[in-house]
Amino acid sequence: MPKLGFGAEQRVNRIIAINPEPLMRHIDPRAAYAARTAQVHAKLARLQQLADDHFGHDPNAVHWGHVGDLGRVEQALDELLAIYDGKPD
């Protein structure tokens, strides 16, 4: 299967295959680490903006679906924290 880059799709026998190799594989690991760190910081900033804006919900009109969504977000954040410090907050 030809390599099309990270996230690129190719149809093979009616199945879509995702190439898991990022294009960064030929970059110095320190440069790749710095680039990924910048991407993480940008996503954290965006998440903070969404949280500050009540995730786009009217605080007076929240329902149990919104509570469930935040539960999933909290669980995902716990999993991410566990990667680096071994324990969720």
Q: Is 2 a residue whose pLDDT tops 70? A: no
**36 phi and psi angles, rounded to 5 deg:** -65, -40
15-18 and 9-12 as β-strands: parallel, antiparallel, unpaired?
antiparallel
Q: What is the pTM of this model?
A: 0.62
Cα distance between residue 1 and residue 11, in whole Å = 10
Q: Name the more confident of 39 and 19.
A: 39
Residue 13: left if φ>0, alpha if ψ -120 to 50, beta else—which one?
left
pLDDT at 85: 84
